[in-house]
A = this chain, B = another copy of it.
Amino acid sequence: MRGLKTALGAEAAEADAGDTITVIGNTGDDITLAGLRVCPDLDTVMYTLGGGINEAQGWGRARESFTVREELVSYGVLPDWFGLGDRDIATHIVRAQMMAAGYPLSAVTEALCDRWQPGVRLLPMTDDRVETHVVVDDDAGRRAIHFQEWWVRHRAALPAQEFVEVGAESAKPAPGVLEAIAAADFVLLPPSNPVVSIGTILAVPGIREAMAQTTVVGVSPIISGAPVRGMADACLSAIGVETSAAAVAAHYGPELLDGWLVDVADSDVQVEGIEVRSLPLYMHDPESTSAIAAAAIELAQELRD
């Protein structure tokens, strides 16, 4: 998911070099490990647009090593299923230090981006603590585990009964989030996970309402009934949404979503109250990604006129 989402951001940034692009990142995946504050989604955007991403993997730093992780596991303070690289850990050290000093996550993100210069304004959805927990029920009993344990350790194979966005109902959008949405020509929903990425952002009170006031175009994360990448189907089935381009659009709903880009394989998709366009949605290379971004911009402009 992350690779697609952020690649799309990059291409959009290139297409509209004159405009300011704000990326609002999900922080529900964030986790504190060995005292380090890890923000996978924000960092993936930052590294990708800043030129530090491991491109093959779609997350983490390029030219990465795992020495600190090995030592932390030896000390017994880090679970062995979480792949924290040495270069990546430096980011979490800086973040943990700034947060310990009282800086909110939005200020920390801005400081980190000073180095990476991603070319967009990167904002966390909130400065408050929101954590996606997953209710599972197996031989060990019914319990809620952190999203990362479910996603990384269990590779989403443990059936999810429910997703709980702990802290979301009292969270406030980070400074600048509502203002950026209100001022935007349009909002682009990337083909990220509709439940635990975009759904989590929409769970912060005020964000969905602000987006409903502007033009929103989404790119389907589902092609021919299967997620393009990642394990979105495991999340959709948990909330009773079919894994299809049409069902995801209907889940967002016409109050939120104005336009929807689907793959040519799904060209027969129709969703009441949402303008659907089809084009090749696989991002094989920068050119195909760029074409998707351009189509999203074109559709948004049409819908605004």
Contact = CB atoms under 8 A, between A and B. Distances in A.
A93 B68 contact: yes
A71 interface: yes
Interface residues of A, number: 24
Nearest to A92: B93
A224 interface: no
A74 interface: yes
B89 A77 contact: no
Interface string A32-60: 00111000000000000000000000000
Of A34, A36, A76, A97, most B-chain CB atoms within 10 Å: A97
Given A34-B97, A75-B90, 16 more contacts: A34-B94, A35-B93, A65-B65, A65-B67, A67-B90, A68-B68, A68-B86, A68-B87, A68-B90, A71-B87, A71-B91, A75-B94, A77-B93, A77-B97, A86-B86, A89-B89
Interface of A: 34-36, 65, 67-68, 71-72, 74-77, 86-87, 89-91, 93-94, 96-97, 100, 112, 115
